[in-house]
Amino acid sequence: MWRILLFFVAVTGTALGFSWLADRPGKINLVWQGNVYQTELMTAVIGFLVTLFTLMALWWLIKNVLFAPGKVSQAMRVNKREKGLEAVSRGLIAVSAGDAALAKKLAAKAGRKLQSDSLTTLLKAQAAQLSGDRNTARRLYETMLESPETEVAGLRGLYLEARREKEIEAARQFAQKAVQRNPQLSWSSQALLEIQSRSGQWAQALETLTLARKHNKIDKKSANRQRAVLLTAQALENEQGEMDMALSQALEAHKLAPDLVPAADVAGRILATQGNVGKASKIILRTWEVSPHPDLALTYAHARPGDSPRDRLIRVQQLAARTPHDQEGAIAVAQAAIESHDWEEARAALKGLLDERPSERVCTLMARIEGGEFGDKGRVREWLARAVRAPRDPSWTADGYVSELWAPVSPITGRLDAFEWKVPVERLEHKDDELPFEEFIPLKAEMKAEQANLDDHNETAIVKPAAGSLTLAPTDAPADVVSEKAPEEVDEPQPEDDQDSKDYIEVIEAEPVEQPVKFDTSSTIDKQEPEPEPSEPKATPVKNNDPEIYIAPRMPDDPGPYSSTGSKNPKLPQRFRHSQKGT
């Protein structure tokens, strides 16, 4: 639009100029070397303009003829560079899309068009990396280190190659060089921090974290949390040797992250050891209100030396009152009550956790209560069997790895502050929650009749006669109750579904006597005769002076060895276990 307007203005101005000259005619006289030349003014103006345009046309023609080869060569170079840049652009897109063949082809084309361009080297290296040619990729990244413009990119490529080949020390050196060249990089700071943390270089990791925070590569909240984790790791290592330094580190970590359980636990243990019970209790209470944990309850209970079990129970009750709706408080009270033999208080503490499906720890604590208060080994075995099927308790979990102890980094990925106190993810499997406990320990009708006149908490024996038949009988039953008998001579009654569960947890020797009562344990014996229809039981005496005691390695319902905490999780490797806490 503006160009058209300017064109009309120029044409109008030219027309007006010639019109003005035409209205004012005149002559021009030129005297040169005694000769006089005379012409009209209009003729002279037109001749001047024609001469000017002619000279301009001749100069344009001469210039194009003389400089044509250079221009053609320059045009060819520009065209070649444009094609090379286009190949680089398409090649980078192919690398992002994961098309290794196309990326390699375009990298070769870009190399022909742009022989010494840094983009071409980068594309070739990434294409080789994508296609699995690591030697070529590493060689190209090393050539990028020679140029200041591409040095950091080459360091990143070499770092990635070192990580792929699991050369952690080489990766650490590349990341450290990248941090030194450009502290503003985010990837190098995070990579160096991760490697230093995973290798236990806590002091160096703290320096790297401080540098990253200084250049705003990590927000303040995350930096404080990670610093607290690193300080806690240092405190765990120094707790056994340099206790004062460990206390200082744990207190700083607790100040930065009050919800970090290990920091408060270490600080509480050291302060309690030094006799500063008040400050230790204050720190543990602050963290308990945010993150209740069994370790905190244990440290709080034993913070004051010389306390009796009853005193420890009172302290734990005060602690649990801070979080009345959390199950950790109730479990801690139950454990302290069991230690003080206050069975009624222990049952009252666990009462609210027995309504639905109690967890493993709750079932184990109930087994301790039954065994400690009544010595009821049957009930103990019942609760232990329920613990096997019970929901899992919270544990320290990181990237699917479950540990009994907290660690600053994940042993799977090396991620800092990866462990969380939560219920581990369980394997999906079919569980019949409605299956009664009687299915695990079936009893015979005759056992109920024999036990009617005996104490409810008798021990039982598993006796294997010489004939190979397995018999079960109460150990304190009359002598005429236990003996061996050939399996084909026994008519055995069927089990009753409504029979109360009893358990058998000890193996003792019984003397062979007359008139035995024999029971089938098909889960333990490989071969048996088929059972006849239920009929009136008969007992045939069998003489045997040397019965062989069969010690079963594990009853069908036996959950096996089980700790008092109910934890079945493996421990972390030795390098993550910095200290062991006394109980």
Q: What are the pLDDT digits (tens) for 512-566?
A: 434 433 333 333 333 344 444 444 444 434 344 443 333 333 333 333 333 333 3
In-domain check, residue 95:
yes
Whole-number Cα distances in Å, 34 to 30, 39, 231: 10, 17, 107
In-domain check, residue 569:
no
Domain that holds residue 66: 6-118
Partnered with residue 473 across adjacent β-strands are 461
In-domain check, residue 329:
no
Least trusted range by pLDDT, from 97-101, 209-213, 226-230, 493-497: 493-497
What dihedral angle (degrees, nearest 10) is formed by the CA atoms of 219, 222, 226, 232?
130
Residues 179, 188: Cα–Cα separation, whole Å? 6
Q: What is the pLDDT of residue 63?
A: 80
In-domain check, residue 577:
no
Higher per-residue pLDDT: 578 or 275: 275
Q: What is the pLDDT of residue 107?
A: 86
Which residue is it, tokens 């304190």? 476
195-206 pLDDT per residue, tens: 999 999 999 999
Average pLDDT, the chain: 76
Residues 83, 96: Cα–Cα separation, whole Å? 20
Contact 187, 158 (CB under 8 A): no
Is a pLDDT exceeding 80 seen at residue 371? yes
Tokens of 310: 């009853």
Residues 480, 491: Cα–Cα separation, whole Å? 18
Mapped onto helix, strand or coil, the DSSP state of residue 421 is strand
For 317-347, the DSSP string reads: HHHHTTSTT-HHHHHHHHHHHHHTT-HHHHH
In-domain check, residue 128:
no
Single-letter code of the amino acid located at 330? A
Percent of the chain with pLDDT over 90: 41
Contact 366, 350 (CB under 8 A): yes
Higher per-residue pLDDT: 414 or 226: 226
Residues 96, 550: Cα–Cα separation, whole Å? 68
Higher per-residue pLDDT: 569 or 146: 146
Total domains, the chain: 2
386-440 pLDDT per residue, tens: 999 999 999 999 998 999 999 999 999 889 999 999 998 764 444 444 333 333 2
In-domain check, residue 45:
yes
Q: What is the pLDDT of residue 521?
A: 34
Q: What is the pLDDT of residue 67?
A: 77
Whole-number Cα distances in Å, 114 to 93, 108, 136, 145: 18, 10, 19, 19
Higher per-residue pLDDT: 384 or 23: 384
Average pLDDT value for residue range 240-246: 91
In-domain check, residue 52:
yes
- Binning pLDDT at 50, 70 and 90, where does residue 568 land? very low
**End-of-domain residue from the set 69, 87, 118:** 118
Q: What is the pLDDT of residue 11?
A: 85
Q: In the 8-state DSSP scheme, what is residue 488?
A: G
Per residue in 440-471, is it b (16+ CB within 10 Å) or e — as a string? bbbbbbebeebbeeeeeebbbbbbbbeeebbb
Mapped onto helix, strand or coil, the DSSP state of residue 507 is coil
Burial class (CB in 10 A: 0-12, 13-18, 19+), 42: middle
Residues 324, 70: Cα–Cα separation, whole Å? 89
Contact 277, 302 (CB under 8 A): no
In-domain check, residue 265:
no
Average pLDDT value for residue range 469-474: 35
Average pLDDT value for residue range 69-86: 83
Tell me the CA end-to-end span of the chain in Å, nearest whole number: 91
Residues 61, 65: Cα–Cα separation, whole Å? 6
